[in-house]
């Protein structure tokens, strides 16, 4: 039997050993955030030391065959990543027990052979993961050779379980165990340790507690008494008298008598050694009943607040949770800095809920969500009780609120990694100074600068940055578009909204199907901006190598994902059903004109 614990190099993990995912494991489920985080962790590692990617727990079945008990999501992503990079992988190095679709897909993924397999016989999850990797490498211009070198510094720890262990019990235990201490809990302990009085510690704990539940408005994370004390009459704003931590404490003073001191008096050592210590629950269950979902987590919100009160520098490292404690440690230098940070955490959370979009449940469907930009506003019900309602953030015409919501969703689906969401801190900085700031003007200027520096007019194919496609769609939605006197898009009309899209589609395919070889264009023409659109990974998979007419007739829902693609469809219809290089050039020039105006 081999060593029970072994250090593996990620770059050759599939060279001589095979791994099998047992049937009791769930399907591959990693989404864009997890995949991009893994790629970023590897690519941004700069130390000469090895980078430890995590632990792989296995049960050895044969000399070079291991059954994966824990770590299958990371392992499968590594397999997809190394397949994309065309690295040396042993045949059937990764297989799934009793899942023929998954095995069939893995055997041909990244090759033309995949397109010849019927959709119903493919694993959509694995294809989506592969496309996300491909799209992220292209859109971020990641050097593949350099990335392979980075992989040589990445290591995993493979742990083999004892032979006599009950695997079913072990797997169940691993999936039901309590969460480990998180970094934001350490930050909480550090901040509260700098506060001297018991009342200040209780205030700090209440601020932290009310801010931590990101999926409900902060007003709903405190009880009715505290809402009346801390917020304006209609609840939308912070009370005008509150401009410091001490003012928050004074407003909470009566209520503090009822707050338990247990979580505020523990030392950091106590928290670190208490296996049952978890993040405090909100003082009152949110009345929204999980109606809303924040676009960032609480730890990332903490980093956003830290950037708001820091120098105005667009630095990805400030929002990188790999440096979480190091980034915010300045805030617990002394009592004054701790109080300042906690106050800004509270104030920014109120502003975040009012001015940053969320995802909202659509039609009671727990899965389907729409973009929402609303502020909370109280009203009195028939019993004269105050209740929450949600109204447009920007008063007046709905069009302005719709524009801001669409613009923010444009940025959200473009900059998907939390460390690149600088537009959030830009908004928070602006409304901290003036809550009537012209956010449309500020964010449009931000996007225009991104467009300008992207070099889009010289870029082609996968080198065109995503912001070029998404901001163009925003402009088309905002202003509408006509071609040859025919109105194709009405401004701010309909229920169109941004979807998470990161796959660049060639409308006229790069590799036409057999029988359509006359559609093949030259390299420059095929990669021209006039022939490109940004769609979802699944949409790209459906389109495959179909000709433009086949895409339009077979998948109209995919066409609707992009307003640019909708224009291309209508231009083709007005061109006698043909999509040729001349019409593509006309479209490119028109879109460039819009982007530069």
The model's pLDDT over 87-141, given as tens digits with 9 standing for 90+, comes to 989 889 999 988 889 999 999 998 888 888 888 888 889 999 998 898 888 877 8
Neighbouring residues of 27: CB distance < 8 A, sequence distance ≥ 6: 99, 102, 123, 125
How far apart, in whole angstroms, are the C-alpha atoms of residue 227 and residue 389?
14
Under a CB-based contact definition with an 8 Å cutoff, are residues 380 and 367 in contact? no
Which pLDDT does position 3 carry in this prediction? 57
58 near 160, Cβ under 8 Å? yes
pLDDT for residue 174:
53
Which residue carries 């928050």 as its tokens? 248
Measured distance CA(508)–CA(527) in Å, rounded: 10
What's the residue count for the chain? 597
pLDDT of residue 242: 92
- Burial of 453 per CB tally in 10 Å (0-12, 13-18, 19+): exposed
Q: How far apart are CA 547 and CA 579, in angstroms?
A: 9
CB of 538 within 8 A of CB of 565?
no
pLDDT of residue 473: 97
User: CA quadruple 489, 495, 497, 499: dihedral positive or negative?
Assistant: negative
Q: Secondary structure of 344-413 in the HEC alphabet?
A: HHHHHHHHHHHHCCEEEEECCEEEEEEEECEEEEEEECCCCCEEEEEEECCCCCHHHHHHHHHHHHHHHH
Q: What is the CA radius of gyration of the chain?
A: 27
Question: How many whole angstroms separate alpha carbon 498 and alpha carbon 505?
Answer: 16
For residue 339, count other CB atoms closer than 10 A to its CB.
Answer: 22
Please report the pLDDT score of residue 268 as a whole number.
47
pTM here is 0.77
| pLDDT on residue 532 | 96
Structure tokens at 176: 């039901």
Q: Look at residue 532 and give its three-state secondary structure.
A: strand
Please give the pLDDT value at position 337: 96
Under 8 Å between Cβ of 203 and 249: yes
Answer for the pair 329, 191: CB distance below 8 angstroms, yes or no. no
**Chain centroid, CA 423 distance in Å:** 14
Structure tokens at 569: 């469809």
Q: Are 8 and 55 in contact (CB under 8 A)?
A: no
Per domain, the residue ranges of the chain are 5-176, 183-392, 455-596
137/135 Cα distance (integer angstroms): 6
Low-confidence residues of the chain: pLDDT under 50? 1-2, 176-181, 260-265, 267-269, 271-287
H/E stretch holding 81 reads helix 72-84
Nearest to 425, CA basis, from 534, 268, 319? 319
Q: How far apart are CA 401 and CA 475, in angstroms?
A: 15
Residues in CB range of 519: below 8 A, 6 or more apart: 508, 509, 512, 547
Q: What is the C-alpha to C-alpha distance for residues 383 and 430, in angstroms, rounded to an integer?
A: 39
Say whether 281 sits in a helix, a strand or coil.
coil
CA distance 307 to 428: 10
Contact 265, 274 (CB under 8 A): no
**Residue 405 contacts by C-beta under 8 Å, 6 or more apart in sequence?**
357, 371, 372, 373
pLDDT of 255 reads 59
Query: Do residues 73 and 34 make contact, with C-beta atoms less than 8 angstroms apart?
Result: yes
φ, ψ for residue 72, nearest 5 deg:
-65, -35
DSSP run (H or E) holding 160: strand 154-160
Interatomic CA distance for residues 250 and 522, integer angstroms = 71
Cβ contact 442:431 at 8 Å: no
Supply angle C-alpha 537, 542, 548, rounded to 5: 110
The CB density around residue 80, as the number of other CB atoms within 10 Å, is 26
Helix (H) or strand (E) holding 52: strand 51-62
Name the nearest CA neighbour of 560 among 499, 482, 487, 507. Answer: 499
Q: In terms of C-beta density within 10 A (0-12 exposed, 13-18 middle, 19 or more buried), how is residue 27 classed?
A: middle
């Amino acid at each position: 039997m081999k060593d029970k614990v072994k250090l593996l190099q990620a770059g050759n993990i599939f060279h001589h050993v095979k791994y099998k995912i047992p049937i009791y494991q769930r399907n591959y489920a990693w989404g864009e955030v997890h995949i991009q985080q893994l790629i970023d962790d590897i690519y941004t590692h700069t130390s000469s030391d090895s980078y430890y990617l995590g632990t792989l727990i296995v049960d050895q079945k044969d000399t070079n065959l291991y059954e994966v008990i824990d770590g299958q999501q990371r392992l499968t992503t590594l397999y997809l990543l190394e397949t994309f990079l065309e690295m040396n992988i042993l045949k059937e190095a990764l297989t799934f027990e009793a899942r023929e679709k998954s095995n069939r897909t893995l055997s041909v993924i990244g090759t033309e052979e995949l397109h010849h397999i019927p959709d119903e016989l493919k694993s959509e999850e694995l294809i989506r993961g592969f496309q996300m990797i491909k799209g992220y490498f292209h859109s971020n211009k990641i050097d593949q050779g350099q990335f392979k070198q980075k992989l040589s510094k990445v290591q995993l720890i493979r742990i083999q379980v004892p032979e006599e262990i009950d695997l079913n019990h072990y797997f169940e235990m691993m999936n039901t165990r309590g969460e480990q201490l998180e970094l934001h809990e350490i930050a909480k302990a550090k901040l509260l340790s700098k506060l001297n009085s018991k009342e200040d510690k209780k205030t700090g704990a209440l601020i932290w507690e009310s801010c931590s539940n990101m999926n409900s408005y902060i007003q709903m994370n405190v009880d009715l008494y505290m809402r009346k004390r801390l917020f304006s009459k209609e609840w939308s704003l912070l009370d005008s008298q509150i401009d410091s931590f001490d003012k928050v404490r004074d407003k909470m003073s009566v209520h503090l008598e009822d707050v338990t001191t247990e979580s505020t008096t523990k030392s950091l050592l106590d928290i670190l050694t208490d296996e049952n210590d978890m993040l405090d629950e909100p003082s009152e269950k949110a009345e929204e009943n999980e109606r809303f979902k924040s676009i960032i987590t609480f730890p990332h919100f903490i980093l956003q607040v830290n950037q708001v009160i820091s120098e105005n520098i667009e630095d990805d490292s400030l929002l990188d949770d790999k440096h979480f404690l190091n980034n915010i440690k300045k805030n617990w230098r002394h009592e004054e800095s701790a109080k300042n940070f906690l106050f800004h955490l509270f104030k920014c959370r109120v502003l975040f809920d009012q001015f940053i979009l969320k995802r909202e449940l659509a039609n009671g469907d727990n899965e389907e969500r729409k973009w929402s930009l609303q502020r909370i506003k109280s009203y009195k019900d028939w019993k004269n009780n105050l209740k929450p309602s949600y109204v447009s953030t920007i008063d007046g015409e709905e069009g302005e609120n719709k524009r801001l919501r669409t613009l923010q969703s444009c940025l959200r689906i473009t900059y998907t990694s939390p460390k690149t969401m600088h537009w959030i801190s830009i908004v928070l900085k602006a409304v901290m100074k003036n809550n009537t700031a012209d956010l449309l003007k500020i964010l449009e200027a931000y996007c225009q600068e991104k467009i300008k520096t992207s070099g889009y007019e010289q870029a082609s194919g996968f080198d065109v940055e995503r912001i070029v496609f998404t901001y163009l769609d925003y402009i088309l939605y905002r202003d509408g578009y006509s071609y040859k006197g025919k109105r194709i898009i009405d401004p701010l009309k309909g229920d169109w909204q941004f979807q998470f899209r990161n796959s660049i589609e060639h409308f006229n395919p790069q590799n036409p199907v057999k029988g359509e070889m006359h559609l093949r264009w030259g390299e420059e023409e095929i990669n021209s901006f006039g022939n490109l659109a940004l769609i979802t990974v699944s949409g790209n998979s459906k389109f495959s190598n179909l000709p433009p007419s086949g895409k339009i007739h077979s998948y109209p829902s995919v066409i609707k994902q992009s307003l640019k693609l909708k224009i291309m469809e209508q231009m083709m219809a007005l061109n006698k059903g043909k999509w040729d290089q001349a019409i593509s050039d006309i479209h490119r020039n028109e879109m460039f004109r819009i982007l530069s105006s």
